[in-house]
Structure 1
Amino acid sequence: MTYAIVVAVTAILMASVVVSLNLTAGYAGQPNLAQSAFFGLGAYFAAVLSVQHGLSFWAVLPVSALVSGLAGAVLGAISLRLREDFFAITTVGLNFVVVALFKSIDFFGGATGIYGLPLPTLGGTSFTNDHFLVLSALLLGLVVLVSKVVRDSWYGGMLMAIREDELVASSLGAPVALFKASAFALSSLLAGVVGAVYAFFISSITPETFGFNQSVLLLSMLIIGGMGTIRGAIVGAVLLTLIPEMFRFASDYRSLVYGVFLVLVLRFQPQGLVGEDSWLARGAARLLRRSRSAPAAVTEVSA
């Protein structure tokens, strides 16, 4: 049971990060390959402030969010003069720079990382895995709520207009620079909060945890689930967290199974498993229409 809870917490936290990534990669259409860096910044500042300066879990959460959010705003400002492939390459470089800083600066613990984060407490009770499960679920709910509010607002509409054609959006008077920078700041802020919770959950962090491979994995989760949708971000994150665990018994072939799954989905369902216009999404929509029309038909017959 403990192992199942650990896997569940990890999957939920990954889902939260991927939903936050969807704000930039999905809504704003910016190929962000540095989300792991912002995730890591939140984790590292939480660890440093807790272990080296004695701050509580609850005190470091807003600091981690602020630091990651500011870093995201800087990336958003950098992105203003870059497009698509050039921007993606820039985010790759940023991820390597951040990891190099984690390894080389003593403030971040150097190459060995930081160990021994104290368990959070609430009402004098130390957290258990069950507490982390509840907290991670609440955090996912918060990130999803923010994402839904953005998606359904005029702000989200402008982000999607920028995604479809940035030049047209700019010609219509939209403040493209402000929208892009704010989207990166919000996305990174949320990732920073998740990173802080993740650091306390695993109680130790190392630079490799937040490297470029992790950023690729986060973006893969979003693409596999369905870019631009909240449900796709959650489904992709959960699936790609659970698949390696399901095939742990065949450790020599886990990477092969994982890779084959990615290739098959991208080949036959490029919209993502539950993305817009995917066969699963279309099937669910048809079932929903039938369920809504059935009561109406029964009412007409009865009349």
Structure 2
Amino acid sequence: MIILDIFNSYFINILVVAGIYVILTLGLNLTTGFAGQVSLGHAAFYAIGAYTAAILSVKFGCSIWITLPISALVTWIIGAILGLPSLRVKEDFLAVVTMGLGLIIQSLMLNLKITGGPMGIGNIKPVSILGHNFSMFNFFILELVIIVILTFTMNRMVNSRFGRALIAIREDETVADTLGINTTKYKVLAFAIGAMYAGIAGTLFAHYFTYVSPDSFGFTESSIILSMVVIGGLGSIKGSIIGAVILSIAPELLRGLKDYRILIYGLLMVIMMRYRPQGLFGENSILNISFKKKNKININKGA
């Protein structure tokens, strides 16, 4: 019975971590998969969400019910602010700029007094209701509810005029401009919403582990999240979810190779780019899917 309880706790812990990555990949896929803006600094917003929740919890005694909406709002605002200048560059230059932003945020976490420096922040309040702390299973159920809400919201967004505008920008930004689409506005919105999803994931991370440190949000983390998006399928919500689950569970199944997971992820990405560049569940052209379903993309002029 004890062995069974340990196994259950271990298994639930893996599912909780996988759920956090699902939220992260959903957000990044909106920015990269649907809007076509490659970001190598997604972990920066993950860190901002986690540290916002940690500071509010430790310094002001806030519970997750307060830190979650505040972290989401803070990362949305910061994502919009940082997105505006960074999205004025394109393609490879954008990837370099976002990577730089990620390194700047991590450096701030390492050096600011309020973030605890290299020691991080501990004693974060666990999730509780009426003074009763959530068990691991209860936390997983809460996380699952949040994932369902965020997935439903993402599905509605990408199938709306907003989503079709992002698809047009991804396929050909010049053509989208000629259609009257404010490309800068839509790209910044996609960047901000993707950052907000990362902030929500960071809040869950902080309250689940009750400790945050800069080591958890480096460039390696951004690379892992991007790998999940690419392997699952660019522009595919289902691909984001399955890619995150597979690549977060795989290291646990192959614990002897856990130290080489970045190497393995890199190799998988090379193989995917060679034989299936659209990912496991992505399509060759998202724009073509829209034409097949609706015969045309219904984007009103001046969107």
Report TM bin, short chain.
0.7 to 0.9
Q: State TM-score, norm by structure 2.
A: 0.87
1:54 and 2:79 matched: no
Matches of 1:179 and 1:275, distance apart in 2: 22
Which of 60, 74, 82 is the aligned partner of 1:75?
Answer: 82
SS in 2 for 1:96: helix
Unaligned runs of 5+ in 2: 1-7, 286-303
State the AA in 1 paired with 2:168.
A
Shift of 1:22: 0.9
1:191-234 per-residue CA deviation (whole Å, 9 max, x = no partner) reads 11121011111111110111111111111100001011001111
State the AA in 2 paired with 1:27.
F
Q: Which has the larger radius of gyration?
A: 1
1:227 and 2:238 matched: no
Runs of 4+ in 1 over 6 A off after TM superposition: none
When the two chains are superposed, the root-mean-square deviation of aligned CA atoms in Å is 1.7
SS in 2 for 1:87: helix
Is the contact between residue 231 and residue 268 of structure 2 (CA under 8 Å) also seen in structure 1? no
Q: Which residue of 2 aligns with 1:291?
A: none
Q: Which residue of 1 aligns with 2:123?
A: 116
1:222-250 per-residue CA deviation (whole Å, 9 max, x = no partner) reads 00010110011111111111111111145
1:8 and 2:15 matched: yes
1:236 and 2:243 matched: yes
Q: Which residue of 2 aligns with 1:31?
A: 38
| Pair 1:247–1:259, CA change in 2 (3 A) | farther
State the AA in 2 paired with 1:189.
M
Q: State TM-score, norm by structure 1.
A: 0.87
Is the contact between residue 54 and residue 124 of structure 2 (CA under 8 Å) also seen in structure 1? yes
Matches of 1:234 and 1:226, distance apart in 2: 10
State, as a whole percentage, how many aligned pairs show the same letter. 41
State the AA in 2 paired with 1:191.
A
Shift of 1:108: 0.8
Matches of 1:96 and 1:211, distance apart in 2: 7
Matches of 2:127 and 2:284, distance apart in 1: 43
| Pair 1:232–1:201, CA change in 2 (3 A) | same
Matches of 1:205 and 1:177, distance apart in 2: 34
Shift of 1:85: 0.8
Shift of 1:130: 0.6
Which of 161, 165, 178 is the aligned partner of 2:185?
Answer: 178
1:167 and 2:184 matched: no
| Pair 1:61–1:257, CA change in 2 (3 A) | closer
1:105 and 2:109 matched: no
1:1-45 per-residue CA deviation (whole Å, 9 max, x = no partner) reads 100000011001101110111111011100011111111100001
SS in 2 for 1:82: coil
Q: Which residue of 1 aligns with 2:150?
A: 143
Aligned residues between the structures: 278
Shift of 1:268: 2.3
- The residue correspondences of 1:249-268 to structure 2 (distance < 5 A) are 249=256, 257-268=264-275
Q: Which residue of 1 aligns with 2:91?
A: 84
Matches of 1:263 and 1:144, distance apart in 2: 28
